């Protein structure tokens, strides 16, 4: 007996929306469900005081992939926002990523040769031939001053443990630019959709059935009966009811407030890199609209706190260390044995994906799957 849908897509985030759009375009019938009460997953934006607020933290679209850039521009017009965060260390402000503006403020150097010599001098003074932890690795790369002021406190807040207890491979390289360039990303294409990400995802899902507030894992048998194939974008360990144990994630929480001033900090993202400030950054959302201190006389800020993930929390990104990757490999073997389920996205594939990589993965996945569905009807 034919099932009413070709695909049940679990998750109305970026992966699910792209898959649904492409499958629908190819004539397949899709049902998209999400346990939240909104679409767009963690890139969800909402209007507060006329300002597009990134509820789950700052998301700046950037890519070198023209195919992906052209694809997202089918669903939104992007502004020319350029990610240029600032670091605040006890009231001292430094441009990020590390560049000539940073080095001039840190040491008073003026030329690239002076900056390179200063970094080399600091690295040599504390060089470790075989770094055993993140602290030794970071000092090997950029020296002590930058490490102490701009890396140590921030990283320890992010990961919830001391840098000398974190593995060295977390920082394989640190961008050091001997130019006066505050653009954080090395990407040909960059920006934020006018009207926010939610509208972009809504455009992707136009004409596709979406049900919100539906918990797939609690209604799995009933929902599985609706479609020939399931595209699952939730946590892979949760799908198997943590049968092999829980994978580790980092979580994030936000304190968001409306302030009675037109411009609180003058930049969309300011990182607090000292250990004493409890939050990792403050986001001022109106600055994501390039060059704007409008609308009105109010602004919306979010203080971001990093947190250890606990069951029931929203997982943000995986902890891709060796023990977790070994556990994921075992879950992946179980996933590969599920004949009617495809695991995709940041949580389904247990990968730290930027948005463009999520879209790449979804486009590749749907291309493979479109030829297979008939055998499952």
Same domain, 113 and 201: no
Catalytic residue among 121, 211, 257, 352: 352
Q: Does the annotation count 67 as an active-site position?
A: no
CA 67 to chain centre: 20
Does one domain contain both 160 and 253? no
Examine the residue annotation and report whether 274 is marked as an active-site residue of this protein. Answer: no
Same domain for 360 and 235 = yes
State whether 372 and 290 are in the same domain: no
Q: Is residue 92 part of a domain?
A: no
Q: How many domains does the chain have?
A: 3
Active site residue 173: yes
54-87 tens-digit pLDDT: 999 999 999 999 999 999 999 999 999 999 999 9
Phi, psi of 237 (to 5 degrees): -70, -35
Asked whether residue 314 is assigned to any structural domain, the reply reads no
pLDDT tens digits, 223-237: 999 999 999 999 999
Q: Identify whether residues 222 and 333 lie together within a single domain.
A: yes
CB atoms within 10 A of CB 332: 15
179 domain-assigned: no
Whether 304 is a known active-site residue: answer: yes
Pull the structure tokens for residue 72: 């997202």
Is 259 found in the same domain as 213? no
Give tens-digit pLDDT for 90-121.
999 999 999 999 999 999 999 999 999 999 99
Same domain, 341 and 206: yes
Beta bridge partners of 46: 53
Q: How confident is the model at residue 320 (pLDDT cuts 50, 70, 90)?
A: confident
Q: Active site residue: 21, 28, 229, 281, which one?
A: 281
344: domain CATH number? 3.40.50.720
State whether 242 and 335 are in the same domain.
Answer: yes
d(CA 209, CA 139): 52
Q: Identify the domain boundary among 308, 333, 357.
A: 308
**Is 336 considered catalytic here?**
no
pTM (2 decimals)?
A: 0.93
Please indicate, yes or no, whether residues 334 and 270 belong to a single structural domain of this protein.
Answer: no
Which member of 80, 130, 173, 371 is catalytic?
173
Is 178 within the bounds of a domain? no
Task: Write out the residue range of the structural domain in which residue 129 sits.
Answer: 97-170
Which residue among 21, 28, 229, 250 is the active-site one? 250
Assess whether 166 and 213 both reside in one domain. Answer: no
Question: Would you say 158 and 178 are in contact if contact means Cβ atoms under 8 Å apart?
Answer: no
Gap between the Cα atoms of 205 and 203, Å rounded: 5
Q: Which helix (H) or strand (E) holds 63?
A: strand 61-63
Q: Is residue 335 part of a domain?
A: yes
């Amino acid at each position: 007996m034919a099932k009413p849908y070709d695909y049940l897509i679990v998750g109305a985030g970026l992966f699910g929306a792209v898959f649904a759009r492409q499958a629908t375009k190819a004539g397949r019938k899709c049902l998209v469900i999400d346990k939240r009460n909104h679409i767009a997953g963690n890139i969800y934006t909402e209007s507060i005081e006329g300002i597009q607020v990134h509820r789950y933290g700052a998301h700046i679209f950037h890519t070198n992939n023209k195919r992906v850039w052209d694809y997202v521009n089918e669903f939104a017009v992007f502004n020319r926002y350029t990610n240029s965060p600032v670091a605040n260390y006890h009231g001292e402000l430094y441009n990020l990523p590390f560049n000539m503006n940073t080095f001039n403020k840190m040491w008073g150097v003026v030329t690239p040769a002076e900056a390179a010599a200063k970094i080399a001098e600091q690295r040599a003074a504390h060089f470790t031939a075989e770094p055993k932890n993140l602290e030794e690795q970071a000092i090997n790369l950029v020296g002590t001053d930058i490490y102490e002021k701009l890396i140590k406190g921030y990283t320890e807040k992010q990961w919830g443990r001391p840098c000398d207890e974190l593995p060295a491979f977390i920082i394989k390289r640190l961008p050091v630019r001997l130019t006066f360039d505050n653009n954080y990303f090395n990407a040909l294409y960059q920006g934020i959709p006018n009207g926010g990400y939610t509208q972009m995802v809504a455009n992707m899902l136009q004409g596709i059935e979406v049900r919100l507030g539906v918990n797939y894992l609690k209604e799995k048998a009933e929902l599985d009966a609706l479609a020939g194939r399931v595209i699952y974008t939730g946590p892979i360990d949760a799908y198997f009811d943590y049968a092999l144990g829980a994978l580790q994630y980092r979580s994030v929480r936000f304190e968001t407030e409306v302030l009675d001033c037109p411009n609180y900090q003058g930049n969309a993202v300011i990182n607090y890199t000292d250990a004493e400030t409890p939050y990792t950054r403050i986001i001022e959302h109106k600055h994501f609209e390039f060059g704007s201190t409008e609308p009105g006389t109010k602004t919306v800020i979010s203080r971001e706190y990093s947190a250890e993930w606990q069951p029931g929390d929203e997982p943000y990104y995986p902890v891709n260390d060796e023990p977790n990757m070994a556990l994921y490999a075992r879950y992946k073997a179980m996933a590969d044995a599920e004949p009617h389920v495809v695991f995709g996205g940041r949580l389904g594939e247990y990968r730290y994906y930027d948005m463009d990589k999520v879209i790449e993965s979804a486009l590749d996945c749907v291309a493979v799957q479109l030829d297979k569905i008939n055998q499952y009807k």
